[in-house]
Amino acid sequence: MDTDTTLITIHPLWVTIVDYILGMIMWTLIGRSAMNLFLPENSEWFFMKMFVRTTNPILRVFKPITPSFLIPLVVPLYVAWFFYLTRFYLMPWLLGYSVMGMLSFPLEGEIARAIYDVFY
């Protein structure tokens, strides 16, 4: 990929910043669910404390629309789904695109490109 067609130059800067923020929130929520498979929420391990501390405010905001029948392990995934929907459907619609396509999210696209550069 040459420098003129990198994902960060395809979209306006504000789109990239918003996507990075939404993507980091989404992946942090997914990470919390993954860590909850192995550790309790009240674990003393630093990374688990960080995931819980950073995601609890987000989970509180979404509590009114979170179904009460969901088990606690799934709640962060449910909330992450809203961030995914925003990134995949709402952002392209607001920007006037019909579809952005798979791996066209700036955050994941840059990560995929870095992994490609390391191995190829």
In percent, how much of the chain has pLDDT > 70? 82
Confidence of residue 65 (pLDDT cuts 50, 70, 90): very high
Cβ(107)–Cβ(99) below 8 Å: no
Q: Alpha helix (H) ranges present in 1-120? A: 7-10, 13-36, 46-62, 75-85, 91-95, 106-119
- Give the model's pLDDT for residue 52: 92
Task: Kindly report which listed range (13-17, 20-24, 48-52) carries the lowest average pLDDT score.
Answer: 13-17
Counting the structural domains of the chain, the total is 1
pLDDT tens by residue, 66-107:
999 999 999 999 999 999 888 887 777 777 665 555 445 677
What are the φ and ψ backbone dihedral angles of 35, each rounded to 5 degrees? -70, -30
Contacts of 68 (CB under 8 A, 6+ apart): none
